[in-house]
Amino acid sequence: MSTHRQSESHADQAAPAQHGPVFFVLEKDALVSSDLIQALQSRGPCRVLHVARPEEAEGALDGVRRVDAAFLAMGFDDAMQSGLTGVLRGLGARMVLTMGEDSQRVLDHGWHLLLRPFTERMVHEMLSDG
């Protein structure tokens, strides 16, 4: 049974691409995912695809044509070994890891790091950055 959920904010599910950015969140901690989703939705109309486990991503991304940013609760090595990152980058996603310690390797790869505990402002600044 899949537990992925799609959070829509001011968006018609039939045409979400016309209503702002699309974000992907991989986070199993309910409190952390709730805070992150709330921070993303507070920026304005958007579509947030949330999964708790990487195995749920395929179902959540079915039919999705683009992802503006992907927030992954993974370390750099796990992300590099995951086929998920290739799929997300193919959809145009800015890759943001929310776990890990090797910030230089993440940055050298052109990805971003949003370490916990993060605030709504930190999420907004990261999305506004370059």
- Domain residue limits, the chain: 5-128
Rounded Cα gap, residues 110 and 2, in angstroms: 31
Rounded Cα gap, residues 9 and 37, in angstroms: 10
pLDDT band at 52 (very low <50, low <70, confident <90, very high): very high
pTM of the model: 0.84
- The pLDDT tens digits for 67-104 are 999 999 999 999 999 999 999 999 999 999 999 877 88
Residue 2 has pLDDT above 90, yes or no: no
pLDDT at 21: 97
Shortest CA distance to 100 belongs to which of 79, 86, 82, 118?
A: 79
Q: What is the DSSP letter of 91?
A: T
Return the bridge partners of 71, or none: 25, 96
Residue 65 has pLDDT above 90, yes or no: yes
Answer with the residue of higher pLDDT: 6 or 107.
107
- The pLDDT tens digits for 7-41 are 443 333 334 445 799 999 999 999 999 999 999 99
pLDDT at 18: 54
Question: For domain 5-128, is the CATH number 3.40.50.2300?
Answer: yes
| Both structure tokens of 121 | 């402002």
Residue 121 amino acid letter? R
Using CA atoms, how far residue 70 sits from 1, 99, in Å, is: 23, 13
